[in-house]
Amino acid sequence: MSLIEQVRQAGVVGAGGGGFPTHVKLGAKVEFVIANGAECEPLMHKDAELMASHAAQVVAGMEAVVAACGAARGIIGIKAKHTEAVEAFERVLPGSRVELHLLEDFYPTGDEFVLVHETIGRLIPPGGLPHQVGAIVQNVETLFNIAAASQGVPVTRKFLTVAGAVRQPFSGAVPVGISFREAIELAGGTSEGEVALLVGGAMMGRLTRNLDECVEKTTGGLIVLPGDHSLVQRKERPETSMHRIGKSSCDQCSYCTELCPRYLLGYHVEPHKVMRSLGFSLSGEDFWNQMGLLCCECSLCTLYACPEDLYPREACQQSKRQIRLKGLLDQARAAVTADTPKPHPLHESRRIPLKQLVRRLGLTDYDAPAPMRQLDLAPRRVRLALKQHAGAPAEPVVQVGEQVQAGQLVAQMPEGQLGAAIHASISGRVRALTPRLEIEAG
């Protein structure tokens, strides 16, 4: 069976957060396979811990992808500060076509455009994809899952970090479908009263206060914060209020643009101009909105750069929605992709060190190690989302009341639809198919 088919059957998706079905990406023919081990979200450690503890599996996944894509080389982008992981790779890399590329500790090193430029010195065309410059990028956990898939093992576990206001921050693999509450209990419980969670990271993650939500194949981490933490308050503000304040308070200082990583790489992203769209006439709005189309939503402008605590990222998100709603996508894309990007002369000196970002976010008190733990977890039940990937929801292939084994296929993609298969993460009886496929242990 081909690697693509093994990966499709195992339900592997981009574990870095995107959830794009991996078998689709593996169809490309490229020169380079780049492993994204940059892990730049504050307080997140699971990729570094995974690389340190499972370097051989990551390299095995990399070798398999290098062969499948006809690539000449595999490059692992990893921060030099992760010495344990670097040493683990150095032990297993001799004789392989895979090499390390050591990265500095800035945010957002893990952005695909930044990572490709750092590792192979090429700039992805504006609005384009890595394969256009001869590369594919896979998160290191995805590579671990590819190696497992090549041995017939499906995705039923998710590596994540639980950090922040918890007693014992940790990284580890938990069954897909356990609740956030259970994951936090594994971290010794919360160290504060009422908490809120940033799911996936402080910068690009989403906010929730619902601890009954479930871990999915893309849940990279839970940052637990006191319910009244400034970051929680900022993310909780209603969007209309964000834009109303932006309209009245933005003084066009342009710091948001001057520190924007996409702008610094030479792409047509200028959030301070997008901010103008909040207060301009309709014709002006369409023009300014274009400047947000290539924004990668890294949040650096909103959570770090803006001295007024305004919301340029959210203005960019709104601008993208408006462009689509008005049917102006082709026109806007043509306007912002016409030029070949050329990095700003100061792009290296304006990088934001992670420590500085952690301070600005008010997270210094929580900036602690989250070591890998071998978890012996026997959850009473799991609830599996049928759509935990890009594309359409998977369709159950089991019935309520049916006994299933851990690793058994329980939901499959309809023929021809983009998505990924889902497998039981525990053995037990199927209790419900919707809204989530629920399995009770036993």
Contact indicator for 303, 360 with CB cutoff of 8 Å: yes
Shortest reach from residue 404's CB to ligand SF4, in Å = 42
- The H-assigned helical ranges of 3-82 are 3-10, 22-25, 46-53, 55-68
The verdict on 287 binding ligand SF4 (CB under 6 A) reads no
The verdict on 239 binding ligand SF4 (CB under 6 A) reads no
Q: 143 CB contacts (<8 Å, ≥6 apart)?
A: 35, 57, 58, 61, 62, 65
The verdict on 310 binding ligand SF4 (CB under 6 A) reads yes
d(CA 140, CA 110): 11
3-state secondary structure of 313: helix
Contact indicator for 336, 290 with CB cutoff of 8 Å: yes
Q: Pairing relation of β-strands 32-37 and 73-79? A: parallel
The one-character DSSP state at 190 is: B
Contact indicator for 86, 177 with CB cutoff of 8 Å: no
Site string for ligand SF4, 263-282 (x = CB under 6 A): ------x-xx--x-------
Q: CB-wise, 350 or 436, nearer to ligand SF4? A: 350
Supply φ then ψ for residue 79, to 5 degrees. -75, 135
Single residue of 80, 102, 253, 441 touching ligand SF4 by CB under 6 A: 253
Q: CB-wise, 99 or 309, nearer to ligand SF4? A: 309
The verdict on 251 binding ligand SF4 (CB under 6 A) reads yes
Q: 282 CB contacts (<8 Å, ≥6 apart)?
A: none
- How would you write 145-163 as a 3-class SS string? HHHHHCCCCCCCEEEEEEE
Single residue of 103, 316, 385, 404 touching ligand SF4 by CB under 6 A: 316
Q: CB-wise, 139 or 299, nearer to ligand SF4? A: 299
Total number of residues binding ligand SF4 (CB under 6 A)? Answer: 28
Single residue of 300, 357, 358, 370 touching ligand SF4 by CB under 6 A: 300
Specify which residues 384 forms β-bridges with: 437
Q: CB-wise, 12 or 256, nearer to ligand SF4? A: 256
The verdict on 242 binding ligand SF4 (CB under 6 A) reads no
Q: CB-wise, 212 or 308, nearer to ligand SF4? A: 308
Copy the structure tokens of residue 435. Answer: 């809204």
d(CA 6, CA 3): 5
The verdict on 150 binding ligand SF4 (CB under 6 A) reads no
Shortest reach from residue 108's CB to ligand SF4, in Å = 8
The verdict on 297 binding ligand SF4 (CB under 6 A) reads yes
The verdict on 306 binding ligand SF4 (CB under 6 A) reads yes
Q: Which residues bind ligand SF4 (CB under 6 A)?
A: 250-256, 260-262, 269, 271-272, 275, 295-301, 305-306, 308, 310, 312-313, 316
